[in-house]
Chains A and B, each alone.
Chain A
Amino acid sequence: MHIDEIQNGIVLDHITAGKAMEIYHFLELDGRDCPVAILQNVGSRKMGRKDIIKIDAPIDTDLNVLAVLCPGITVNVIRDGVRVEKKALTLPPEVKDVIKCKNPRCITTTEQELPHIFRLTGAKTPVYRCIYCETKA
């Protein structure tokens, strides 16, 4: 399989296999008219299988939330066909409507239009917890 390398944009690499479409929709790439390549189940020495997304346009969304959606993801910034930066992602202290609470007893399951908000907790290992029921993400 051969896909043209992108000129100006970003490459999202080391996406957990199967998660590419989730990230595609989260970044609302379906609403943009730039070229996007989605590679699924690519062989990876480190991960076995991984997904990759290449976007041939600059993205101004806060990409830090990608680290929440998909731990281990890497972001490469491409300019004039060359990788100029490997972006380090930092976990945001709070995320709104990025992840959903999975606790069936949580108020988010019944309250109308309540945003799903998670806050980063844990001193040694960072964990996101639902602000309502404190369930782990």
Chain B
Amino acid sequence: MRNLIDILDLDVREIDALIKRANDIIERPDAYREICRYKKLATLFFEPSTRTRLSFEAAMLELGGQVLGFSEAASYSSAKGESVSDTVRVVSCYADVIAMRHPKEGAPLVASMAASVPIINAGDGGHNHPTQTLTDLLTISREKGRLDHLTVGLCGDLKFGRTVHSLISALSRYEGVRFVLISPEELRLPDYIKQDILEEKGLKYLETESLEQVMPELDILYMTRVQRERFFNEEDYLRLRDSYILTPDKLTTAKSDLSVMHPLPRVNEISTAVDADPRACYFRQALNGKYIRMALILALLGL
């Protein structure tokens, strides 16, 4: 593994190895505390995403390494028009691995072609965000003990939600995964994903507008945000928003071992009253994000 640009850069065995490593880090944190001593991670965030950046920085610090970088393009020379390629060529001189977030789609791929150190895509516009998907896979694996034979409900904005799209492509490689796609008509999963991934691989899926109706079947419920700007008018937004808010009430028919996930930040799509329910695992998911990034950094550094 040289870079991580797209989740599909990793085959199932490589993903399994990262999950295994992350679990080992969780079990034996002491063994990893010094492993990245004298190594540096550069976080190049051409657009702000505090949560993701902190997760990367915490990961490197917990491995005993150091971090440097910037968190908005205005503070770096790209504001003066420097290319992504030039930036990472220079930063390659200062760091051993680079995590990069950029508003333009494909920027991390361009970076990986120019850099002499490994590049991690920390989000490129609405395109890819592979470490989020790795986080989701580690979470499912830890909560469920497996990544196959699961009924996975994806709820909310399935049209624009990139985390949903890459989670579907990642999970489609495991046997017996069934998807339940829960969204308003306006925010359904795009046809090309249904055709290229689900139908191409002969995977079972169900589309519905009703969360209540399918709740009892689900092993995983992956919630996403329904954003106001996706709607033409306020009435539609308000009407639909409320039907996709998860409340303790809606969870009464769910399985006792359901796992409720969310990539965070949450706005109001999960009621805070759900947080205390042991089935809510979105904060554990955020913690897993740090561990899988630790495993990834080690893999890319060959440690």
Q: Which A positions have Cβ atoms within 8 angstroms of B?
A: 103, 105-112, 114, 122-123, 130-135
Which residue, of A109, A131, A132, A134, has the highest number of chain B Cβ atoms within 10 A?
Answer: A132
Report B101 CB to chain A, min CB distance, Å.
Answer: 13
By a CB distance below 8 angstroms, the chain B residues around A107 are 84, 102, 104-107, 109-110, 124
Give a binary string over B91-103; 1 marks a CB under 8 Å from any A CB, 0 the rest.
0000000000011
Q: Which B positions have Cβ atoms within 8 angstroms of A?
A: 83-85, 102-107, 109-110, 124-127, 196, 200
By a CB distance below 8 angstroms, the chain A residues around B106 are 106-108, 130-133
Contact indicator A111/B84 (Cβ below 8 Å): yes
Give the contacting residue for A106; candidates B84, B85, B105, B200; CB below 8 A: B105
By a CB distance below 8 angstroms, the chain B residues around A110 are 104
Q: A105-B104, A112-B83 are in contact. Are A132 and B126 (CB under 8 A)?
A: no
Q: Within the assembled complex, what's the spacing in Å between the Cα atoms of A61 and B272?
A: 64
Q: Within the assembled complex, what's the spacing in Å between the Cα atoms of A3 and B200?
A: 50
Q: Within the assembled complex, what's the spacing in Å between the Cα atoms of A131 and B83?
A: 18
Give the contacting residue for B85; candidates A111, A131, A133; CB below 8 A: A111
Contact indicator A133/B110 (Cβ below 8 Å): no
Q: A106-B106, A131-B109, A132-B105 are in contact. Are A111 and B126 (CB under 8 A)?
A: no
By a CB distance below 8 angstroms, the chain A residues around B196 are 122
Contact indicator B109/A132 (Cβ below 8 Å): yes
Q: Could you tell me the dominant secondary structure of chain A's interface residues?
A: loop
Contact indicator A111/B83 (Cβ below 8 Å): yes
By a CB distance below 8 angstroms, the chain A residues around B127 are 105, 133-134
Which residue, of B104, B126, B127, B196, has the highest number of chain A Cβ atoms within 10 A?
Answer: B104
By a CB distance below 8 angstroms, the chain A residues around B103 are 105
Which residue, of A107, A111, A134, has the highest number of chain B Cβ atoms within 10 A?
Answer: A107
Q: A122-B196, A123-B200 are in contact. Are A114 and B110 (CB under 8 A)?
A: yes
Contact indicator B105/A111 (Cβ below 8 Å): no
Q: Within the assembled complex, what's the spacing in Å between the Cα atoms of A131 and B102?
A: 16
By a CB distance below 8 angstroms, the chain B residues around A108 are 106
By a CB distance below 8 angstroms, the chain A residues around B107 are 107, 111, 132
